[in-house]
Structure 1
Amino acid sequence: MEGKSLTYQFKTAGIVIKLIVINLAVFLLVNLTAFLLEIPREQLAQWFVLPDTFGELIVQPWSFITYSFLHFGFWHLFWNMLWLYWFGGFVLNLFNSKRFLTIYLLGAISGGLYYVLAYNFFPVFSTTTGYLIGASAAVRAIVIFIAAYNPNTEVRLIFFTVKIWHIGAFVVLLDLIQLPTSGNAGGLIAHLGGAVFGYVYAIQLAKGNDIGKWFENVMEWFENLFTPRTKKPFKKVHRTTPAASGRSNAKPEKTNNQKKVDTILDKIGKSGYDSLTKAEKDFLFKAGKED
């Protein structure tokens, strides 16, 4: 029963919470497995980290996305998820979960491309090898996207208030300052790759050009590919219809519960299932069980 409850809570959670849970689950799985089997984490996750050579990338192209769900260090995971939770709320106040996920994943891919190109074309990396892990590039894309799209949003930082573009500019400037002296230059370049994508996406979207629409369509295609046609996000709930004219035994009014169901179904029709609040999802779920 508890397992079903947890599964239901995950399914009805927002996209930010889902991403945090997935990142945390992968972190625990990799680190605990490596510990119990006495296997180096790098060896265990070698097919999911992003390598720095084109030869390796050809045989594991999926690593452009999988690397962004891997963290070997707790604090690396903690700070990435904190930034994701904080700025994810700003994005979801304006856009739906599908666009949020598009920014996140394309930001990861952009960061990965910057990383690979830097290691193969910049002389400073000619004597080093490495791999890329972590959600930093994807999170940077989220941060810079909202900082560019809605720059004048004000954020309270303990004792003072700043505009959100100030935070975006600060994190990018910090990465640039650290780049020449940091031992993680490749990772910082990936941060910049995510930031560049977030900025370009926001600017183009403000002009009416949705450069991420194609990716949303790809995700939708994959979702339909693995989802049975009969499967629905909630159990069947009937919408009441007016009784045929001339029937004297029809109920003149809907029950309060059915009115609420109809209102929720209308909201789904206009804004999608993810637009529902947790209370509305719970109510619809219970109504479906009683049907």
Structure 2
Amino acid sequence: MNILNDIKAAYNKANIVERIVYINAFLFLVTALLSNFIIEWFALPSNIDSFITKPWTLLSYGFIHQRFIHLISNLLVLYYIGNLFLDFYTKKQFLNFYFLGLFVGGIAFLTTYYFTQQNGLPLAGASAAIATVFVAIATKVPRYALRLRFIGSVELWVLAAIYVSLNILQLTNNDNGGAIAHLSGALLGFVYSKQLSQGNDIGKWFENSIDFFTNLFTNKKNSNLKTVHKSKRRSSTKNEVSKNKQGKINDILDKISKSGYDSLTQKEKDFLFRAGRK
């Protein structure tokens, strides 16, 4: 029981990226115990007729991992890249990128097999979502360098280019549905990140949809709570502070894009870290 309590406490303290890591790890154990049942009902089938009877698989496939090495490689990348992502984007934006990556990757997978009239293995794994997040943050701060053991510092755009290139090579395989899903997620990450930099949140509809369904299940008693009205003056002051803070963040991000993360002063690094955690 102490172990379960420790796991529960760790989950409650975890951020959104770490919680998804925990969920994937737990569902891997479930899959190992009920492999045939889980793959049959929760992996994304390549046959469109089979998918129509199990539409939930368009998202559930992203939480199914059959091989331990597949799980570990995905979760390690998700943990490090996902936490870096949260330094530059919000928690809700992470969920937008992640789940839209699963959705787009799944649609591309189904479309490929529908038009080629072939049957492939069911799609399983979070790779399409991780590709979306990975390419998105590489697009946001391409000159940000990660220090890799035995290799040294490597900029994000280089790692993203290698990842995309490896998946392009896999297109030559007969069963290339997985590579198509990954590349579709990567393309979404690039386009979405570019659009956000221009002030256009193309995934906002997904966030609004989640908020809508969440509000449906919100306790109606909340509607009886007393509404507190803030003065316009206080609201205006708060907005000015928020704009100044965002402006400073943008200046720092521009500096990273031009000269790399190492060009920041310690004060700028601390400011960016604090801003990313809020």
TM normalised by structure 2 equals: 0.74
Amino acid at match of 1:13: A
Q: Which runs of 4+ in 1 moved over 4 A?
A: none
| Corresponding position of 1:174 | 166
Aligned partners of 2:140, 2:220: CA distance in 1, in Å? 36
Whether 1:213 and 2:204 are equivalent positions in the alignment is yes
8 Å CA contact 1:113–1:193 kept in 2: the answer is no
| Corresponding position of 1:135 | 126
Equivalent of 1:68, from 62, 67, 70?
62
Aligned partners of 1:5, 1:78: CA distance in 2, in Å? 21
Aligned partners of 2:36, 2:112: CA distance in 1, in Å? 22
Instruction: Give the direction of change, closer, same or farther, for the CA distance of 1:229–1:94 in structure 2 (3 Å limit).
Output: farther
Amino acid at match of 1:15: I
8 Å CA contact 1:115–1:190 kept in 2: the answer is yes
Amino acid at match of 1:172: V
Query: Which structure has the larger Rg?
Result: 1
- TM alignment of 1:203-282, pairs within 5 A: 203-229=194-220
By how many angstroms is 1:27 displaced? Answer: 0.7
TM normalised by structure 1 equals: 0.71
Aligned partners of 1:227, 1:68: CA distance in 2, in Å? 27
| Corresponding position of 2:10 | 9
Structure 2: stretches of 5+ with no match in the other structure = 223-244, 246-273
8 Å CA contact 2:147–2:154 kept in 1: the answer is yes
By how many angstroms is 1:129 displaced? Answer: 3.2
Query: How many residues of Structure 1 are paired with residues of Structure 2 in the alignment?
Result: 223
Equivalent of 2:85, from 91, 104, 107?
91
Amino acid at match of 1:150: V
Which structure carries more relative contact order (alpha carbon 8 Å, separation 6+)? Answer: 2
Query: Which stretch of structure 1 is more off in the superposition, 185-194 or 2-11?
Result: 2-11
Whether 1:154 and 2:145 are equivalent positions in the alignment is yes
Equivalent of 1:47, from 16, 41, 46?
41
8 Å CA contact 2:121–2:175 kept in 1: the answer is no
8 Å CA contact 2:43–2:64 kept in 1: the answer is yes
By how many angstroms is 1:225 displaced? Answer: 2.7
By how many angstroms is 1:145 displaced? Answer: 0.6
By how many angstroms is 1:230 displaced? Answer: 5.6
Equivalent of 2:177, from 181, 186, 191?
186
Aligned partners of 2:65, 2:107: CA distance in 1, in Å? 19
By how many angstroms is 1:187 displaced? Answer: 0.7
| Corresponding position of 2:28 | 27
By how many angstroms is 1:7 displaced? Answer: 2.9
Structure with the larger helix share: 2
Q: Identity of counterpart residues, as a percentage?
A: 38
| Corresponding position of 1:115 | 109
SS at match of 1:155: strand
Equivalent of 2:97, from 94, 103, 118?
103
Aligned partners of 1:163, 1:141: CA distance in 2, in Å? 17
Aligned partners of 2:5, 2:218: CA distance in 1, in Å? 20
Structure 1: stretches of 5+ with no match in the other structure = 35-40, 232-269, 271-276, 281-291
SS at match of 1:132: coil
8 Å CA contact 1:107–1:141 kept in 2: the answer is yes
Equivalent of 2:51, from 57, 64, 81?
57
Alpha-carbon RMSD: 2.2
Amino acid at match of 2:155: K
Aligned partners of 1:96, 1:185: CA distance in 2, in Å? 33
Whether 1:78 and 2:72 are equivalent positions in the alignment is yes
Amino acid at match of 1:11: N
